[in-house]
Amino acid sequence: MLNKYPAWKNILILLVVIWGFMYSLPNLYPDDPALQISHELTELSQGDLPTIMSALEAAEVQFFGEEVDSESILIRLNNLDDQLRAKTAIEEALGDSYIVALNLAPTTPGWLQAIGAGKMNLGLDLQGGVHFLMEVDMDAALTRRMEDNLSNVRTILREQRIRSRGLNLISNSHLEVRFADADDRSQARSELVDVFPELQFQNREAQGVFILDMRMTPATALQIQNDTLQANRTTLLNRVDTLGVSEPTVQQQGSDRIVVELPGMQDPAQAIRILQRIATLEFHLEAELGASSLTYETYEYEGIPVNVDNDVILQGDRVSNAVYSLDQNSQPQVLLSLDAQGGNQMNRATRDNVNRRMDVLLIETKSRTVTSVNEDGEEVEEIEFYEDKELITHATILQPLGRQFSITGLTPREASDLAPLIRSGSLAAPMTIVEQSVIGPSMGQENLDQGLLGVQVAAGLVVIFMFFYYRTFGMAANAALIMNILMIVAVMSSIIPATLTLPGIVGIVLTVGMAVDANVLIFTRIREELGNGAPPQQAIDAGYNRAFTTILDANLTTFLVAAVLYTIGTGPVRGFAITLMIGIITSMFTAIVGTRAIVNLIYGGKSVKTLSIGNFRKKAKAA
């Protein structure tokens, strides 16, 4: 029958409506500001909660809803100001070994949590916090790997007693070894080719010298960049953990950047101090007496000049851990653990050098802006990285070293400073903050309030307009419109864990404006059919059918644009694109299927003389 949906279709629509309602519901329950307290290393003890409670009472902060388990304690507070005051009070009462994290505790009723309904994540712009974009210096990472290779090549040639006439680093992906004759070269090549599967070998002759070129393949370079980025991400995650932020984000962006978002963080200066400790380590041997001055550099160690050999025996990224402890004689030491390859390298380098000194260089990468002139004669600003090296250990090798060894002869203070320095020095490549945004909590709340008010007013105006212009049909469209907003919220709260940002709210608002477009298309078409003299039931059917291809084309192209936006964009652009895409899909459902169901329920299957769809002009029948 015309304009009647089969029962299953109505039920299906009803189910979708119920789903949309249920899963958007949790967003109506505002979170409580809360603090989550845990111990850095061990489980919490019985006495912790009373200590916390008396500290809060002393600070005159009201709290409620304590939740305690062996791992952590959660305490709810009335407002964000109390949250910060309480944090300080608890930190003072408990001391340094506890982590007090700012948190938001959900107030969603249990039955909603039970069906897995949760809230949308709010972006930093809506809840306050700190955002950093950090850039990893990939050039340094590659150069370091090649330097590492170079010193391995040197060792192997020495062990195999192959005479070379020099090794040079040509670029960050290319090194050359020079030989006096072709025999040496081919012998070296056959020795090296198995050790360095990731390098490409090529022979070359220049001015009577036989050169072996070793180049990093682009695939290897890419792999190294990837590993470097992951290593840096992990290091950042560890550092962020010490900041006491409940839900930090540390995410890769593009090929050489990492986004760090710290919701609720109110002390950006502290965050920067911790995140930006850019340092790497290099292990060298002390230069032998009488060595050519070209093979070493001189550093100062406790006021004495020390000549450090240029060959790197080990890079800091091979260090898997460094801890401060006391040895058998209760003397302070730093215990170092290396990974497998690091252990081999260290062993090879130290077994012939017992009683020689080993030097550890801490390399801090700093950067400055330089202005240069490009090909077009324009002045361009570039970030230039440079290295600041410091000799931090100058210790005697007492025995051949392996994967685990210790640095002794330090004062307790030196040892406790050195351990974290080496740990952070194992960071694979230096990073700089290239973008930063600090959003205060009041700003976040203001953005959220204004954004939501904007949605409400916009939806209200559209609803009023649609009712006056399209009457009963307008109300069907309005029902669909509200349904659409609920569904966007429900999808963002459950299916796609998208983060709601201010541009995202704008995306929703814009969808509100554009979603009624589908209905406007359909209703004008129905009016037109009526104007042409079609009977009401047929007018409805023709209106929906004829408008469908138009709506599909229009929405599909807009969706494509949103998808492009999402792919190329970052941050705010993405937040906008994702809500726009979700909105287009849900609005197709609500505006076409949803309104049709309502219209069918009202008009379908009866004989209807007139439709309540506003005024239309009656035309002479078209030819």
Partner 1 sequence: MLTEKEFDFMGYRKIAGVVSIILIIVSIISLAVNSLEFGLDFTSGTSVRLSYSDSVVVEEVNQTLRDNGYEDAVVVTFGSDREIRVLLPVDESIEVGDQAAQAVIVGESIAELLQNSSGSQITLLGSDYVSAKVGGELVESGGIGMLVALAIIMVYIAMRFQFKFSVGAVVALAHDLIITLGIFSLFRIEFNLNTLAALLAIIGYSLNDTIVVSDRIRENFRRMRKGTPIEMVNTSLNQTLSRTLITSLTTLLVLFSILLIGGESTQGFAVALIIGVVIGTYSSIYIASNVILYMNVTREDLMLPVKEGSELDDIP
Using CB under 8 A as the binding rule, the residues of this chain from 405 to 434 that contact partner 1 are 432-434
Contacts for 76 with CB less than 8 Å, ≥ 6 apart:
32, 33, 34, 63, 64, 65, 66, 105
Residue 321 makes contact with partner 1 by CB under 8 A = no
Stretch that binds partner 1, among 157-165, 217-225, 302-310, 561-569 (CB under 8 A): 561-569
C-alpha 500/C-alpha 24 separation (Å) is 13
- Identify the residue among 156, 237, 475, 554 touching partner 1 (CB under 8 A): 554
CB 238 within 8 A of CB 203: no
In SS3 terms, 374-398 reads as CCCCCEEEEEEEEEEEEEEEEEECC
Both structure tokens of 486: 């609920």
Q: Name the residue nearer to partner 1 (CB basis): 88 or 570.
A: 570
- Identify the residue among 29, 442, 468, 497 touching partner 1 (CB under 8 A): 442
- Written as one letter, the residue type at 465 is F
CB 470 within 8 A of CB 525: no
Q: Name the residue nearer to partner 1 (CB basis): 112 or 272.
A: 272
Residue 561 makes contact with partner 1 by CB under 8 A = yes
CB of 600 to partner 1, least distance (A): 16
Q: What is the DSSP string of 25-70?
A: GGGGSPPEEEEEEEESSS---TTHHHHHHHHHHHTT--EEEEEE-S
CB of 155 to partner 1, least distance (A): 34
Residue 496 makes contact with partner 1 by CB under 8 A = no
Coil, helix or strand at residue 213: strand
CB of 274 to partner 1, least distance (A): 11
Residue 545 makes contact with partner 1 by CB under 8 A = yes
108-147 residues in contact with partner 1 (CB under 8 A) are 125, 128, 132-133, 135
Instruction: Single out the residue of 347, 346, 343, 325 nearest to residue 334, CA to CA.
Output: 325
- Identify the residue among 439, 498, 598, 599 touching partner 1 (CB under 8 A): 439
Contacts for 622 with CB less than 8 Å, ≥ 6 apart:
532
- Show the binding pattern over residues 512-531: x = contacts partner 1 (CB under 8 A), - = does not: xxx-xx--xx--x---x---
CB of 556 to partner 1, least distance (A): 7
- Identify the residue among 557, 605, 606, 612 touching partner 1 (CB under 8 A): 557
- Show the binding pattern over residues 346-365: x = contacts partner 1 (CB under 8 A), - = does not: -------------------x
Residue 572 makes contact with partner 1 by CB under 8 A = yes
- Identify the residue among 10, 225, 276, 347 touching partner 1 (CB under 8 A): 276
Q: What is the DSSP string of 140-191?
A: HHHHHHHHHHHHHHHHHHHHTT---S-EEEEETTEEEEEESSHHHHHHHHHH
CB 37 within 8 A of CB 75: yes
Residue 274 makes contact with partner 1 by CB under 8 A = no
Q: Name the residue nearer to partner 1 (CB basis): 82 or 528.
A: 528
CB of 438 to partner 1, least distance (A): 5
366-405 residues in contact with partner 1 (CB under 8 A) are 366-369, 381-383
CB of 257 to partner 1, least distance (A): 9
Residue 506 makes contact with partner 1 by CB under 8 A = yes
Residue 446 makes contact with partner 1 by CB under 8 A = yes
Instruction: Single out the residue of 231, 187, 193, 233 nearest to residue 215, CA to CA.
Output: 193
End-to-end alpha-carbon separation of the chain, Å?
29
Q: Name the residue nearer to partner 1 (CB basis): 135 or 359.
A: 135
Stretch that binds partner 1, among 174-182, 230-238, 492-500, 612-620 (CB under 8 A): 612-620
C-alpha 436/C-alpha 431 separation (Å) is 14
C-alpha 469/C-alpha 463 separation (Å) is 10
Both structure tokens of 87: 């944090």
Residue 589 makes contact with partner 1 by CB under 8 A = no
453-472 residues in contact with partner 1 (CB under 8 A) are 453-454, 457-458, 461-462, 465-466, 469
Residue 278 makes contact with partner 1 by CB under 8 A = yes
Residue 286 makes contact with partner 1 by CB under 8 A = no
- Written as one letter, the residue type at 295 is T
53-112 residues in contact with partner 1 (CB under 8 A) are none
Unique residue bearing structure tokens 């393949």: 217
Please give the backbone phi and psi of residue 539, each rounded to the nearest 5 degrees, phi first: -60, -45
Q: Name the residue nearer to partner 1 (CB basis): 16 or 258.
A: 258
Residue 538 makes contact with partner 1 by CB under 8 A = yes
Q: Name the residue nearer to partner 1 (CB basis): 367 or 408.
A: 367
Both structure tokens of 492: 């963002």
Residue 12 makes contact with partner 1 by CB under 8 A = no
Stretch that binds partner 1, among 51-59, 69-77, 271-279, 410-418 (CB under 8 A): 271-279
C-alpha 235/C-alpha 15 separation (Å) is 46
Q: Name the residue nearer to partner 1 (CB basis): 51 or 253.
A: 253
CB of 268 to partner 1, least distance (A): 5
Residue 509 makes contact with partner 1 by CB under 8 A = yes
CB 582 within 8 A of CB 494: no
Residue 3 makes contact with partner 1 by CB under 8 A = no
Residue 571 makes contact with partner 1 by CB under 8 A = yes
Q: Are strands 304-315 and 357-373 parallel, antiparallel or unpaired?
A: unpaired
Q: Name the residue nearer to partner 1 (CB basis): 59 or 455.
A: 455
Angle at 262 between CA 256 and CA 263, to 5 degrees: 140
